[in-house]
Amino acid sequence: MTAPKTAPARPAWWRQLGTWRRARFAAAGAGAVAAAAAVGSVNGMIIDGGAPWWSLAVLAAGAVLTGLVLGSYVRAPIGAEATLCDTRWPLIGLTGLVLATSTGPDTLATHLFTGAAPWVLAGMIQPAFAILSLGLLGWALRERLALERWAMAPPDDGNPAGACATCRPLFPTRSAP
């Protein structure tokens, strides 16, 4: 007699995504489409074409991660509201995606790395930017989800779960007059 097979335990962030409501997934989907369109148009992938296969895969993965980060801003629990500080890492990650997926001779990457040979730019510099930007976007998503878990956990020392005291809210609420 064999023991029944059990599914491997899912990571906490994956289980947390399962608790999201439709509004968050809708925002994540819209954000992913907007990120893909913005990065694809800024770096010339839409007009020029001819992007290597890995560039399209990086763009797709980066767009999904960006969408999930944006979805985490929608209806966040109290204590995990989005702040202006939360936007810096996804914006840096998106900038890295633009550099990583640039195609053609008149792109930002070719102007920044003017002295680099084309094979060095496309074979070494851009893949490094791709790895770094995807890592940064993944880290930003992980931090947002960890902040939500922390904000929803019961306080351990009698203090309410706090939020960043030095950052301004991304979506400020108006106080009653």
d(CA 140, CA 155): 24
| Cβ-count burial 89-105 (b if 16+ within 10 Å, e if not) | bbeebbbbbbbbbbbee
Would you tell me how many other CB atoms lie within 10 Å of the CB of residue 56?
Answer: 14
Q: So what's the pLDDT on residue 159? A: 46
CA 148 to chain centre: 16
Q: What is the pTM of this model?
A: 0.78
pLDDT value of position 176: 46
In the predicted structure, residue 18 carries a pLDDT above the cut 90: no
**Element spanning 40, H or E:** helix 22-42
